[in-house]
Amino acid sequence: MNPTLRALRTYTVEFALWIPAFIFITEHVASLETVRGRSMSPTLTDDLILVRRWRAAENLRRGQVVLYRSPMEPEKVVIKRVVGLEGDVIRTRKSCAERVVTVPQGQVWVEGDEAFHSVDSNNYGPIPSALITAKATHVLFPLSRAGRVAEDFKGRRGALIHKAPDHDGVEGAS
């Protein structure tokens, strides 16, 4: 066999063997995502981010930025910040019918950092943790903002009225 064809065949087979590994990693371990829209501004605005998919719904903490399937449009993945964990008492935005909500077991309260441009738990209530597909870990681009995604912003001032007792000692215990 021609050496060029043999080399081409070898590289093609090697490439084909890596495709399933690449798909597994990007679907279940980590991937790059682009943030679009203003709901997470100023934290994330048109950024390229690294997200961790492995066990994304475990050990959630207030302040973490998560990606999840929209309860209103399941084909759409959105990005918001965890403001409340199960058992927490949340004061909703003034536009909500219910002014105070206790986050049910197995659910979290999520909000965008830019409240006036965000469709979030204030619109559809707490979301099941099972809808969470990833946690945002790092901003990769633009380089001027590259680094870990900040978890210190805890959401709208006054949103968290009361932390659940189970979460006082170890935040994010599930």
Q: Which residues are part of the catalytic machinery?
A: 39, 80
Please give the Cα distance from 82 to 5 (Å, whole number). Answer: 54
Residue type, 79: I
Q: What's the start-to-end Cα distance of the chain, in Å?
A: 60
Strands 48-52 and 132-141 turn out to be antiparallel
Count CB-CB contacts under 10 A for residue 68.
23
Distances (CA, A) of 75 to 33, 57, 69, 70, 103: 16, 18, 7, 7, 24
